Amino acid sequence: MKINKIMTLQLIAVMAASIGLTSCGNSNATSSSATGWKINDKKGGFQYNTSYDGTEVPYGMVAIEGGTFTMGRVQDDVMGEWNNGATQQYVQSFFMDETEVTNLMYTEYLSWTKAVYPPTEARYRQIYSSALPDTLVWRNQLGFTETLTNTYLRHPAYQSYPVVGVSWVQANDFSKWRTDRVNELNLERAGYIAKNAKTDKAYGEQTFSTDTYLKAPSKAYAGNDSIVFKGVKNRAKDGQNGVYAKMEYGIISAEFRLPTEAEWEYAASVRKSDRVYNNQQGRNKYPWGSDDVRTNSRKSKGDYLANFKQGRGDYGGIAGWSTDAGEITTAVKSFPSNDWGLYDMAGNVAEWVADVYRPAISSEVNDMNYFRGNVYNKSVIGPDGTVQVVSANIEYDTLPNGKLRPRALPGEVQKEGVGTEDTFQRRNFQGDNSIAYKDGDTFEKVGQKGTMYNSPQDQAVYDAQGNLTYTLDDAARTSLINNNSRVIKGGSWKDRAYWLDPATRRFIDQYSASDFVGFRNAMTKVGNTKSNSKKKARG
């Protein structure tokens, strides 16, 4: 079916306005090298953004050009962890937040969630609850911290401080929300969505999901065409085809997500001399390109270059000389950025990354975009051949700590694991879960077989009467590592200088939260390695 003329003119205008084209109309039309047919002709036909000039840097992010680097620790391992041996890796270009996600950013997310899924309604109550940070992480059995418990998240005094008390799962939920809100704004500005619908109309299942819009646009905003068909006349005549933005137009942003461990470490080890190990010279330890934690600047000589714990009972120096600018966390950008323009890649808060923790990283298995944690899903297809979208029937998962979390939000596409029909005769993956792929879990000695990652299996389950029962696993166990163990990188306000080295790595459970762990987002750069455009995105 042909794309209507109104749609064609609209697309050309959007390309010129939002992607920086200097021409429109027939001058934007090109001929296909496959068929000779016209592309982007005003009379209709196939529409494609052939003048796309590269991904704009998303708002609040910086561009990180990919390359090869030595991942892991090259100095002596004084802690004896032996979990960060040096390997050669290659990372593709990506974008990363210049700062950690702040309290202001996260409370915006909470405000939106509360407005769209009001907890006063029973069916939505657990959606808002599942997004709330755990403010009780500030409590200390032998310390007075109640003021932080009550104020740190929401008081304006802490608006520019990194959010804490957020689990790995919650950080991913925030990232997905951010993706949808940015793309919703992009489409509104391009004229494909009614103005201010994101605030005036959003409620329950009538919300925007990027995945739903791309795969089943007629079901976006619960099928409300007064929102989705903005600016298109003669709807009945035009039909459904050609009135929606498509991936081919270059308007839809890639997803915001947690960085992989390799990306995070690469971005923290900024200088070339720090990324590649030299046998004679070694490499500098910290993100600011030095083995010293103090500045040599004449103006601030002796001050620390990151927010960390200097010693027992010393979190910020003496009165009159606050050597690291803070007692707990500090406002983001309190210290100089590294050469990429990234702040607090050491100190302030440690940060969640996407990877499942295992003690070893082997470049023999994969040496490009290394990541452990792939779980492959696909859209649920209904009997009518279209993707299924979550409506009022919300399914919740009971987490090991007893909290409920929606499996998918109203308005989102339902997902399921890939099956045999998707993996048969494939060589690159053979199942829907690759977390434990070649992780060295099983062992055999003296004819005895066992597993390395034999961690406790605590449970929280609801019985038939709806009562929640907690069960602590008291069996003999040999490890705390399991498939829910997620890597955290970088030192924090309550860590010693050892953890400021980007090569160090630790883990905590993905459902847990802490007063010293936050996060920042990353985004894969699509297209060529180098950025063609240095313009900031308007989102």
Question: Which pLDDT does position 293 carry in this prediction?
Answer: 73
For 191, the token pair is: 């004229």
- Lowest average pLDDT, out of 78-92, 303-317, 413-427, 470-484, goes to 303-317
With CA atoms as reference, report the closest residue to 154 among 176, 128, 132. Answer: 132
- Chain Cα centroid distance, residue 50: 29
- The yes-or-no verdict on residue 21 having pLDDT over 50 is no
Give the per-residue pLDDT at 511: 95
CATH number of the domain that 409 lies in? 3.90.1580.10
Residue 7: band (very low, low, confident or very high) from pLDDT cuts 50, 70, 90: very low
Has residue 385 been placed in a domain?
yes
Please state, in angstroms and rounded to a whole number, the distance separating the CA atoms of residues 103 and 154: 7
Res 78: pLDDT? 67
- Identify the H or E element spanning 174: helix 168-190
Q: Number of folded domains in the chain? A: 1
Residues 517 and 492: beta-carbon distance below 8 Å: yes
The pLDDT of residue 316 is 73
> In which residue are the tokens 């209709």 written?
44
Assigned domain for 94 exists: yes
Using 50, 70 and 90 to split pLDDT, how confident is the model at 172? very high
Helix, strand, coil shares of the chain, percent, nearest 5, are 25, 20, 60
- Note whether residue 439 is domain-resident: yes
Higher pLDDT among residues 298 and 72, named by residue: 72
Q: Is residue 50 part of a domain?
A: no
How high is the pLDDT of residue 438?
A: 87
Residue pair 392/299 in contact (Cβ under 8 Å)? The answer is no
**Least confident piece of the model among 83-87, 90-94, 104-108, 441-445:** 441-445
The pLDDT-based confidence of 8 (bands split at 50, 70, 90) is very low
Q: Is it the case that residue 12 has pLDDT exceeding 50?
A: no
Cα–Cα distances (Å) from 174 to 75, 269, 400, 527, in that order, read 36, 26, 20, 26
Residue 27 has pLDDT above 90, yes or no: no
Q: What is the DSSP string of 73-130?
A: B-S--TT-----B-EEEEE--EEEESSPPBHHHHHHHHHHHHHHS-TTSTTTHHHHHH
Q: What is the DSSP letter of 389?
A: B
In eight-state DSSP terms, residue 357 is P
pLDDT tens, 254-312?
A: 999 999 999 999 999 865 555 555 443 445 677 766 666 766 666 655 677 778 787 78
Range of the domain at 232: 61-524
- Give the residues across from 69 on adjacent strands: 89
Closest CA to 539 of 42, 37, 271, 180: 180
pLDDT over 90, % of the chain: 34
d(CA 38, CA 309): 64
- The per-residue pLDDT for range 102-141, each reduced to its tens digit, is 999 999 999 999 999 999 998 898 999 999 999 999 999 8
| C-beta separation of 70 from 277 below 8 A | yes
Contacting residues for 160 by C-beta, under 8 A, at least 6 apart: 102, 103, 104, 331, 332, 333
70 lies in some domain: yes
Position 104 scores a pLDDT of: 97
Q: Is residue 361 part of a domain?
A: yes
Cα gap 254→215, rounded to integer Å: 15
Assigned domain for 10 exists: no
pTM for the model stands at: 0.87
pLDDT band at residue 14 under the 50/70/90 scheme: very low
Q: Is residue 538 part of a domain?
A: no
pLDDT of residue 290: 65
- Whether pLDDT at 538 is above 60: no
Res. 484: pLDDT tops 70: yes
d(CA 92, CA 526): 10
DSSP 368: B
Whole-angstrom Cα distance, residue 258 to residue 97? 10
**Mean pLDDT calculated for residue range 413-434:** 85
pLDDT over threshold 80, residue 345 = yes
Question: Which residue spans within 382-533 are E strands per DSSP?
Answer: 396-398, 404-406, 415-417, 442-445, 448-451, 459-462, 468-471, 485-489, 506-509, 517-518, 522-524
Q: What is the mean pLDDT of the chain?
A: 82
What pLDDT digit, counting tens, does each position of 203-247 carry? 888 889 999 999 988 888 888 888 887 655 444 444 444 578 888
